[in-house]
Amino acid sequence: MARLYVLLFLAQIVLAVCALISCLSAEEGDIRALPRVAWVLIILFFPLVGSIAWFVAGRDRGAAATRTAWPVGNGFAERKRRRVAPDDDPEFLRSIEERTRHQDEELFRRWEDDLRRREDDLRRREGDPPREEKSPDA
């Protein structure tokens, strides 16, 4: 008989802990009848009755039913656009590659212009005529 009392006492404690967790994690709009503090005090001072009262009258069952841990659907993966890390997003990687290519082309163009200018300066110092520019079309 003592084992039965211990088992019922443990069940009461587990129920009270579950009710406290449920009460403390509930959204403010999902709590009915009393403020959250009152529900916590009722559950703590009257564990069996308070826990049952919380699950029956304290929380809004409609709001809890709409939020489930698993997505509700027909079993097929839904085609929603989910956020992707930048290093996994093909559009982002493509934009970086394109921007890098443009930056490299600009850098090489400036280096070539600088190299031509320096070569022309050296030729002028030595008395040679400057090199004729070839058009890019030729």
> What secondary structure, in 3-state letters, does 58-110 show?
HECHHHHHHCCCCCCCCCCCCCCCCCCCHHHCHHHHHHHHHHHHHHHHHHHHH
Poorest-pLDDT segment among 15-29, 77-91, 94-108, 122-136: 77-91
112: number of Cβ within 10 Å? 10
Confidence of residue 124 (pLDDT cuts 50, 70, 90): confident
Rounded to an integer, the average pLDDT of 119-136 is: 75
Q: Compute the distance between CA of residue 39 and CA of residue 21 in angstroms, rounded to an integer.
A: 11
Does 131 have pLDDT greater than 90? no
pTM exceeds 0.75 for this model: no
Residue range 104-118: mean pLDDT, rounded: 94
> What are the domain boundaries of the chain?
2-66, 86-126
What does the pLDDT look like over 48-95, one tens digit per residue?
999 999 999 887 766 555 555 455 555 555 555 566 677 778 888 888
The pLDDT tens digits of the residues spanning 17-39 come to 999 999 999 888 888 888 899 99
